[in-house]
């Protein structure tokens, strides 16, 4: 059974519902970057939108857009990854609870704070009775959602799946994470992120929907060949996992044209990737994406998107190379791309994409 990524739509720091970032990416100018919003009226009526927070609107817009692109009306499954759900509504309910001493609380905010509201409101809009689920597992929420779809497509239980990653950053949550040294220093330019000497990653909101299916189409981006998730592996086990996934797909490390890594500029995060680079990917070009899409619980979805889009386009734009000298040398049409993601060196994932 082959599994294909048919279409992807996103709302992020970059131009929404567009691939313009391939040619001319928006360069962040602060560590708290806001998303660019599309015109939601094109997707949602005001009556429908009355209870929706920003995140649900984004999720619906990207879902409807990605289904339309591939001409699919009804997916067999809707699966989302969201680390924190609708933070806006959660904060509203929590603040009211504290300020009003548990009186006169807004029911809408409670309802919208449950993480599964995203997948279920997509289903409600599509009238989709198919499989519906939501993963909330920190920085591998999306990877988990993709894994679920991958398993069910492989088992033949479903033929199509809408898989999304949806997370938002609010000023209060940004402040709290700052206290945990997530954004220690003021951001000034990309070179600072590249050096990774400090702790400066860009925070982003993300909403990305993609459609997977068992049938190849003209619009297909690439094949989702295989994936694996593992916990606290240590470098040796990571290497084993990479070798395993290559071996069972009859590939060797030489066949991998590029590896997409979640390098963000935060030293603690990046060290794991540097070590992997030294041990496993010495001669493989490294691509990065968090400088464009920011760091968030759903950021890894952009890693898969960037890899898939390069395979579709048959080329890798220079700005994606983490080491500028690799960009100059790279000339070929990519055929196989590995996406490696980890969260706090606890949860790791490897995703293999092929043309």
Nearest to 7 by CA among 149, 163, 115: 163
Q: Does 1 bind another protein (CB under 8 A)?
A: no
- Taking the least distance from each CB to another protein, the nearer of 21 and 340 is 340
Q: What's the chain's length in residues?
A: 355
- Taking the least distance from each CB to another protein, the nearer of 250 and 283 is 250
H/E element, 57:
helix 54-69
Nearest to 262 by CA among 312, 204, 311, 315: 204
Q: How far is the CB of 45 from another protein (least distance, A)?
A: 10
- Taking the least distance from each CB to another protein, the nearer of 104 and 218 is 104
Q: Is the dihedral angle over the CA atoms 54, 120, 73, 69 positive or is it negative?
A: positive
Residue 71, exposed/middle/buried by CB under 10 A (0-12, 13-18, 19+)? exposed
Q: Does 239 bind another protein (CB under 8 A)?
A: no
Which residues lie below 8 Å from residue 124, measured CB to CB, with a gap of 6+?
Answer: none
- Taking the least distance from each CB to another protein, the nearer of 180 and 283 is 180
Chosen residue from 7, 12, 63, 134 binding another protein by CB under 8 A: 134
- Taking the least distance from each CB to another protein, the nearer of 26 and 138 is 138
3-state secondary structure of 99: helix
Residue 162 has, within 13 A of its CA and on its CB side, a CA count of 35
Q: Can you tell me the distance from the alpha carbon of 59 to that of 61, in angstroms, rounded to the nearest whole number?
A: 6
* Pairing status of strand 77-81 against strand 160-167: parallel
Chosen residue from 84, 222, 251, 350 binding another protein by CB under 8 A: 84
Q: Does 39 bind another protein (CB under 8 A)?
A: no
8 Å CB contact between 81 and 142: yes
Q: Does 183 bind another protein (CB under 8 A)?
A: no
8 Å CB contact between 349 and 143: yes
Chosen residue from 26, 49, 72, 253 binding another protein by CB under 8 A: 49
Q: What is the DSSP letter of 256?
A: -
Size of the site for another protein (CB under 8 A): 73
Chosen residue from 23, 179, 282, 283 binding another protein by CB under 8 A: 179
Q: Does 51 bind another protein (CB under 8 A)?
A: yes
Q: Does 12 bind another protein (CB under 8 A)?
A: no
Q: Does 220 bind another protein (CB under 8 A)?
A: no
Q: Does 154 bind another protein (CB under 8 A)?
A: yes
**Residues in 199-218 that interact with another protein by CB under 8 A:** none
Chosen residue from 26, 36, 69, 94 binding another protein by CB under 8 A: 94
Q: How far is the CB of 175 from another protein (least distance, A)?
A: 7
Q: How far is the CB of 19 from another protein (least distance, A)?
A: 30
Q: How far is the CB of 277 from another protein (least distance, A)?
A: 24
């Amino acid at each position: 059974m082959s599994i294909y990524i048919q279409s992807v739509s996103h709302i992020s720091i970059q131009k929404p519902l567009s691939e313009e970032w391939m040619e001319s990416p928006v360069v962040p100018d602060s560590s708290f970057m806001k998303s660019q919003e599309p015109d939601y009226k094109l997707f949602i009526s005001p009556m429908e939108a009355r209870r929706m927070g920003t995140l649900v609107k984004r999720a619906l817009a990207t879902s409807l857009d990605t289904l339309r692109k591939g001409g699919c009306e009804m997916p067999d499954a809707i699966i989302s990854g969201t680390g924190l759900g609708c933070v806006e509504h959660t904060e509203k309910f929590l603040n009211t609870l504290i300020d009003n001493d548990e009186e006169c609380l807004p029911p809408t905010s409670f309802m919208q704070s449950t993480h599964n509201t995203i997948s279920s409101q997509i289903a409600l809009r599509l009238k989709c009775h198919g499989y519906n689920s939501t993963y909330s597992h920190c920085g591998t929420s999306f990877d988990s959602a993709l894994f679920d779809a991958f398993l069910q497509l492989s088992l033949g239980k479903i033929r199509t799946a809408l898989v999304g990653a949806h997370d938002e950053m609010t000023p209060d949550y940004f402040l709290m994470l700052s206290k945990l040294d997530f954004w220690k220093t003021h951001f000034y330019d990309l070179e600072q992120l590249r050096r990774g000497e400090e702790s400066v990653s860009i925070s982003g909101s993300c909403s990305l929907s993609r459609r997977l299916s068992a049938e190849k189409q003209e619009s297909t981006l690439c094949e989702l060949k295989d994936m694996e998730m593992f916990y606290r592996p240590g470098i040796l086990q990571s290497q084993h996992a990479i070798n395993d996934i290559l071996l069972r797909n009859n590939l060797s490390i030489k066949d991998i044209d590029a590896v997409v890594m979640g390098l963000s500029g935060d030293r603690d995060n990046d060290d794991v990737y540097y070590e992997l680079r030294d041990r496993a990917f010495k001669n493989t070009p490294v691509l990065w994406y968090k400088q464009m899409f920011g760091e968030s619980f759903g950021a890894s979805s952009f890693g898969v998107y960037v890899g898939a889009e390069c395979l579709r386009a048959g080329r890798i734009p220079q700005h994606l190379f983490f080491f500028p000298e690799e960009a100059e040398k790279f000339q070929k049409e990519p055929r196989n791309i590995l996406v490696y993601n980890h969260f706090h060196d606890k949860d790791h994932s490897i995703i293999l994409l092929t043309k």
